């Protein structure tokens, strides 16, 4: 990723999601180009964030700026991977395929570097999740060999998305901008950076350059089966015995929800996976029907700073948060809703909302208490 060489962005402050943190200076203008990916990864990360990573955006910054929000991660070349890895782990535990997909896409986003045409350093640590480990970040499109490198990254990403049951064409969303002119010290023409464009300015301004065609993606993922552990996780109401059986075979779940096993799979596997799929769907339908009066299953009404917990509605694979994030379990969806509210509340607190982040923490606890009551 590029930024204007020699330019100084002293006026722009980035606020951490903490009342005590000092504003830090930003010097790179593209880390918010794919905002929906950041938003999704933030929500997944916040479910469980043992390394205290301040926000996913830090993983997309150059190392000097990344240090300001890396938490316990000391190898800054690996902050992006560590962020993606934890978000993926959390989304997987929640049976959230969209969250897992976005964690994978996040891993593939380009990181800022110091000048046009400079590639970012690759992380040499191994991610906990093999899906994350199989993906690396886009490189500056003006760097040497970038077109081939970035195409290979997108095809690898598509395979991993396919392997978890996501839509492999989503890999194209990880694309970057048209190359900047190496001789142009401002190099701004092709880029955008707007944290307030929740749809992602690279998409809304039509600046994304796709690295591969849809057909190339389809060809790359042909024969990729949904990994057994993912199928089990996605059908999160599966019994423990189904887990144990599924761990040794490949299970392919079609879009229609039917389950096919590979040639050598035992019948027991088919029934375990089928049970998992059925019970998840049944649970979703039953509890949604039981409580969905008025459509919104989120009953917590606290709204500090005017930020209410986003609606949870029946839909998607069971439940949708804010109409998009899809979950199998209503509990996970409601928890995500509380977490999103906490983030929005903290942002409001840090933007002079007239209350403290601590008040948002208190509200978050009330929200989680309300949804488990």
Ligand X SMILES: *[C@@H]1O[C@H](CO)[C@@H](O)[C@H](O)[C@H]1NC(C)=O
In the complex, which residues of this chain contact ligand X (CB under 6 A)? 46, 342, 361, 364-365, 368
Q: Measured from the CB atom, is 106 or 300 closer to ligand X?
A: 300
Q: Measured from the CB atom, is 188 or 368 closer to ligand X?
A: 368
Q: Are 253 and 165 in contact (CB under 8 A)?
A: yes
Closest contact distance (angstroms) between CB of 326 and ligand X is: 21
Closest contact distance (angstroms) between CB of 261 and ligand X is: 37
DSSP symbols for 334-349: HHHHHHHHHHHHHHHH
Q: Measured from the CB atom, is 166 or 335 closer to ligand X?
A: 335
Q: Measured from the CB atom, is 48 or 199 closer to ligand X?
A: 48
Q: What separation, in Å, do the N-terminal and C-terminal C-alpha atoms of the chain show?
A: 46
DSSP symbols for 55-115: -GGGGGS-HHHHGGG-TT---GGGHHHHHHHHHHHHHHHTT-HHHHHHHHHHHHSPPP-SS
Q: Measured from the CB atom, is 285 or 365 closer to ligand X?
A: 365
Q: Measured from the CB atom, is 43 or 320 closer to ligand X?
A: 43
Q: Are 3 and 182 in contact (CB under 8 A)?
A: no
Q: Are 368 and 361 in contact (CB under 8 A)?
A: no
Closest contact distance (angstroms) between CB of 46 and ligand X is: 5
Closest contact distance (angstroms) between CB of 329 and ligand X is: 16
Closest contact distance (angstroms) between CB of 367 and ligand X is: 7
Angstrom CA distances, 219 to 216, 223, 254, 283, stand at 5, 9, 17, 36
Positive/negative CA dihedral, 284, 287, 289, 293:
negative
Closest contact distance (angstroms) between CB of 365 and ligand X is: 4
């Amino acid at each position: 990723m590029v930024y204007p060489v020699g330019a100084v962005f002293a006026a722009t402050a980035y606020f951490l999601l903490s009342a005590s943190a000092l504003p830090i200076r930003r010097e790179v203008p593209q880390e918010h180009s794919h905002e929906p990916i950041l938003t999704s990864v933030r929500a997944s990360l916040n479910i469980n964030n043992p390394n205290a990573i301040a926000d996913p955006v830090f993983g997309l910054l150059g190392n000097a700026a990344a240090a300001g929000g890396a938490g316990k991660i000391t190898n800054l070349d690996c902050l992006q991977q560590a962020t993606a890895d934890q978000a993926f782990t959390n989304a997987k535990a929640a049976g959230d395929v969209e969250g897992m997909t976005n964690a994978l896409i996040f891993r593939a986003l380009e990181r800022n570097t110091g000048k046009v045409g400079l590639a970012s350093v690759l992380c040499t640590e191994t991610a906990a999740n093999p899906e994350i480990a199989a993906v690396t970040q886009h490189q500056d499109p003006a760097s040497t060999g970038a077109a081939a490198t970035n195409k290979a990254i997108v095809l690898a990403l598509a395979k991993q998305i396919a392997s978890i049951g996501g839509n492999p064409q989503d890999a194209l969303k990880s694309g970057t901008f048209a190359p900047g002119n190496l001789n142009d010290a401002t190099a701004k023409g092709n880029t955008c950076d707007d944290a307030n464009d929740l749809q992602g300015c690279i998409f809304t301004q039509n600046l994304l350059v796709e690295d591969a065609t849809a057909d190339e993606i389809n060809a790359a993922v042909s024969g990729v089966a949904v990994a057994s552990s993912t199928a089990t996780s996605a059908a999160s109401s599966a019994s423990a015995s189904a887990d144990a059986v599924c761990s040794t075979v490949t299970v392919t779940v079609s879009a229609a929800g039917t389950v096919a096993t590979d040639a050598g799979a035992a019948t027991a596997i088919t029934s375990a996976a089928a049970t998992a799929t059925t019970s998840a769907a049944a649970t979703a339908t039953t509890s949604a029907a039981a409580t969905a009066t008025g459509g919104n299953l989120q009953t917590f009404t606290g709204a500090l700073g005017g930020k209410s917990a986003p609606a949870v509605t029946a839909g998607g694979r069971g439940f949708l948060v804010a109409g998009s994030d899809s979950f199998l379990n209503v509990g996970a969806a409601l928890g995500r809703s509380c977490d999103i509210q906490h983030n929005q509340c903290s942002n409001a607190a840090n933007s002079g909302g007239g209350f403290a982040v601590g008040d948002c923490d208190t509200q978050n606890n009330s929200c989680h208490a309300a949804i488990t009551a």
